[in-house]
Amino acid sequence: MTLKISHTPEVQALLKEAAGFNNDQGSPRLKQLMFRLITDVYKFIEELEVTEDEFWLAVDRLNKVGAQSEFGLLLPGLSLEHFMDLLQDAKDEQVGLTGGTPRTIEGPLYVANSPLSDGYARMDDGSEDHLATPLFIEGTIYNTDGKPVPGAIVDLWQANVNGTYSYFDESQSLYNLRRRIKTDADGRYRARSIIPSGYGVNPEGPTQECLSALGRHGQRPAHIHVFVSAPDHRHLTTQINLAGDKYLWDDFAYATRTGLVGEAKLVNDVEASKANGLDGRAFAELEFDFVLQPAVNPEAENRSQRPRVGQ
CATH of the domain at 278: 2.60.130.10
Statement to judge: residues 13 and 156 lie in one domain:
no
pLDDT at position 17 over 80: yes
* Tens digits of residue pLDDT in 273-297: 999 999 999 999 999 999 999 999 9
Q: Are residues 168 and 119 in the same domain?
A: yes
What pLDDT is attached to residue 311?
82
Task: With respect to residue 56, please indicate whether it lies within any of the assigned structural domains.
Answer: no
Judgement on whether residues 18 and 123 belong to the same structural domain of the protein: no
For residue 97, what pLDDT band results from cuts at 50, 70 and 90? very high
The number of distinct structural domains making up the chain is: 2
* HSE-CB for 163 with a 13 A CA cutoff: 10
Beta strands in the chain (DSSP E): 116-118, 120-122, 134-143, 153-158, 178-182, 188-194, 199-200, 219-220, 223-229, 236-242, 261-262, 265-267, 283-287, 290-292
Residue 94 and residue 225 in one domain: yes
41 with 90, same domain: the answer is no
Each residue's pLDDT tens digit, 22-52: 999 999 999 999 999 999 999 999 999 999 9
What domain range includes position 32? 9-50
1 pLDDT above the threshold of 80: no
pLDDT of amino acid 154 = 99
Check whether residue 152 and residue 16 sit in a common domain.
no
Query: Same structural domain for residues 81 and 45?
Result: no
In a domain, 3, yes or no: no
Q: Is 115 a member of any domain?
A: yes
**Model confidence at 208: pLDDT above 80:** yes
Instruction: Provide the percentage of residues in the chain whose pLDDT is more than 70.
Output: 100
- Is residue 69 assigned to a domain? no
